[in-house]
Chain A
């Protein structure tokens, strides 16, 4: 089974801090994704990566950046955390170039910005 591991289940940070959320997958998947999930808004794609050092903006990239230095690891960075970035963050991975394959999700990180 695919395992996607997010480094923290819960995280509390202060406004203005630089925040790193880490995600690791163990199935050699090329594609990795970061979403945020908010009540009433569903899942929204922040960034995704289709290969090492490659990244592409999703629907809501403002205030975020990402890093993919190794195939198995995809990091989401909040450059200067703000209270409106309090949310549930979900990481996912998927094998590349296989259109009819699902995404595999981690358990999420619930981030609170005070």
Chain B
């Protein structure tokens, strides 16, 4: 099955800096979603971008989608220590309610 792949795998930044993560995928999609996972917890949905959208904002989050390159990026602006987590992209490739997840991207925000 298709999987998203995040890049870079691990990121360490100072509080207040911006964090950018990228995700690539292989097949056509209906939408792409980003999730956050705090250590030892479940995944929390952050933002969903549809295949006909190019950019979406939610608070300090900005997501872009380039379907021609089959890639997406997640930008967290003005990072906080509470943003320390793993971030996953997931693609809905066939609209059949199944998601294909990437392996995750660990972000550490240093106070």
Contact = CB atoms under 8 A, between A and B. Distances in A.
Contacts of B3: 42
Interface of B: 1, 3, 30-31, 33, 35, 40-45, 48, 50, 88, 92, 95, 97-99, 101-104
Contacts of B30: 99-100
B42 A106 contact: yes
Contacts of A59: 1
A58 B30 CA distance: 19
Given A100-B30, A106-B42, A42 B48 contact: no
A110 interface: yes
A105 B97 contact: no
A81 interface: no
A100 B31 contact: yes
Interface string A83-114: 00000001010101001111111111010000
A25 interface: no
B102 A42 contact: yes
B45 A102 contact: yes
B98 A45 contact: yes
Contacts of A4: 42
Nearest to B9: A40
Contacts, number: 54
A48 B1 CA distance: 15
A42 B103 contact: yes
Nearest to A94: B97
A85 to B, nearest CB: 19
Contacts of A45: 98-99
A105 B44 contact: yes
A12 interface: no
Nearest to B45: A102
A33 B25 CA distance: 22
A99 B88 contact: no
Contact of A105 (B42, B95, B98): B42
A48 B50 contact: no
Nearest to B92: A99
Contact of B41 (A40, A48, A101, A107): A107
A108 B88 contact: no
